[in-house]
Chains A and B, each alone.
Chain A
Amino acid sequence: MMRSRTYPQFELQDIIQRFGKRKALQIPHLVLEGGEIYGFVGPNGSGKTTLLYIMNLLLRPTYGEVFFEGKPIYGDTGWRTSAQRKMTMVLQNPYLFNTTVEKNIEYPLKLRGLPKRERLGIVGDILDEVGLAGFEKRGASQLSGGETQLVALARALALSPRVLFLDEPTANVDAKRIHQLENIIAKVNRERSTTVVLTTHNLAQAYRIADRVFSLFEGRLVSPAMHNLFKGAIRTSPEATYFDTGKIRIQIPSEYKDSESGHASVNPDEIILSRKPFVSSARNTFAGVIIQISSGEGKVHLEINSGELFRVEITNQSFREMGLNLGSRVYLTFKATSVHIL
């Protein structure tokens, strides 16, 4: 039990997936923590689905190892089977077995040897949860695209999985159902602490639902399209208007009004980094500690923890002159107008 709490839920190490000569996926290292919602965005053919198949253990990567709760999957067959039973996936174009809705949702419960009465109880509850109460005896082939997606989701949720993979969950769903599906995903994550890993084309949707968003391009994880993206709500006071993430309050232009929830992003190029606080017209100053340093494209990328995690980019020269190291205490300063509300 101690192991599963100490280790991340998933860890991918040196993963390479080839299909023939084509390298479909190359991920040196990726860690997913339990109980979070992760979004993977990218165009068609970027490797999103392949990554889900590898994590759902449907596909053994050509090279590399997948760790689930700290244990390697391909070192131990028994662990693979038991790990696989803790996760499930809803395919991009979900498939319902050629029978009734009830029998579809019962299927995974039957595999786990649950008695009939218990199975039917779960089917009723789960259909209620996804808003399809009374659909038990409907034939799977009679359902609309949105209903099919919801039944497939209900079938996956019936298992109470620790990890739920959703491949493009709203790709074949009308606008009305998208909102409903997103709410169900958020609720499942919140109430059951289910880790949700989803892929989408839709960047806005990824940021709307997910706690962390990764971008995939041509099989590689690339810098997210938006850095310093925070979830929170707009709050107004007589002095100022803030974006409150729950951990820090970021001052934003006063034209914004109160909102229930939303996202804000800060362009890394617009953040001034200093060793000491300095007086300026900029409205936001946060103290923080450097927790990661990497370089690329002629710049140094710094991850700074100041309540929220900020990414800042500085030149190699500035980096050298400031004598920065891991653990250095720094100050981040940026204008209210550098904050973009999404």
Chain B
Amino acid sequence: MGYLSEALGTAGRLIFTLDPEILEIVGRSLRISLTATSLASLVGIPLGFLIGSKDFQGKAIVIIIVHTLMALPTVVVGLLGYALLSRQAPLGFLELLFTPRAMVMGEFILSLPIITALTISAVQGVDRRAILTAQTLGAGKIWVAWTALMEVRYSLLAAVIAGFGRAASEVGSAMMLGGNIRFYTRTMTTAIALETSKGEFGFALALGLFLLLVVFSVNILLHLFQMRVRVR
């Protein structure tokens, strides 16, 4: 109970005092997770559309693999990334290890299966009449695809939100690929891990609450966007 009241107090103080280091960590966390989510959406939505809308041999296996990858442990992604990016590794020459770019890559890999899988299921739910209607009105293949995606835009937004949630909350790959370097790769989740290891449970919990608040704000923005799309 002590931790909880201390955490609430500290969280309140963090919000109201706007500690510059905390703000810097929050800014970096958002930049990395939003970049990773945007890239994963750019790849995952078209990929999900293709898998969901086309009939091909082995489709069921592909879907099972994508679903399995949704449960990919973050630490495994970190470990694989580390194995590929460390100095002696095949991609070591890129010198990406312990950089924000490496963290974006890790979070991209984690959110891609989620966005792809949820897009597949959204696309499979598109009313067949929507596609037929677009075709009868003269739409070519690209327009038909765009129309189908627009018909399930709320589900796609939910997919992007879920992907962002995964990217913003993971700690395993951020820690292993970013290294938790102060003023460079420290994010909210790696900071929480560090404070916990230092025994600063209250502060760590406060950062956790603050992280939730930040994700909550991003979700509000996305929902406002969704409502705007609904009206249009």
If the complex has contacts A56-B136, A159-B138, are A99 and B232 also in contact, measured as CB distance less than 8 A?
A: yes
Contact B132 A97 (CB under 8 A): no
| B137 part of interface (Cβ distance < 8 Å) | yes
Could you say which residues of chain A place their CB within 8 Å of the CB of B139?
Answer: 111
Contact B137 A111 (CB under 8 A): yes
Chain B: interface residue total (CB-CB under 8 A):
16
Looking at the complex, which one of A93, A98, A103, A108 makes contact with B137 (CB distance below 8 Å)?
A: A108
| B151 part of interface (Cβ distance < 8 Å) | yes
Q: Restricting to A47-61, which residues have a CB under 8 Å from any CB of B?
A: 56, 58
| A285 part of interface (Cβ distance < 8 Å) | no
B123 shortest CB reach to chain A, Å: 15
| B217 part of interface (Cβ distance < 8 Å) | no
| B198 part of interface (Cβ distance < 8 Å) | no
| A112 part of interface (Cβ distance < 8 Å) | yes
| B129 part of interface (Cβ distance < 8 Å) | yes
B215 shortest CB reach to chain A, Å: 28
Contact A97 B151 (CB under 8 A): yes
Could you say which residues of chain A place their CB within 8 Å of the CB of B147?
Answer: 97, 107
Contact B137 A159 (CB under 8 A): yes
If the complex has contacts A97-B150, A97-B151, A111-B143, are A91 and B130 also in contact, measured as CB distance less than 8 A?
A: no
Looking at the complex, which one of A58, A99, A112 makes contact with B136 (CB distance below 8 Å)?
A: A58
Q: Can you sample 7 A-B contacts with CB below 8 Å?
A: A58-B132, A85-B138, A95-B129, A95-B132, A97-B133, A156-B136, A159-B138
Additional A-B contacts beyond A84-B138, A111-B139, A156-B137 (9; CB < 8 A): A88-B138, A89-B136, A91-B136, A94-B129, A95-B127, A95-B132, A97-B133, A97-B150, A108-B138
> Interface of A with B (CB < 8 Å)?
56, 58, 84-85, 88-91, 93-95, 97-99, 103, 107-108, 111-112, 155-156, 159, 165
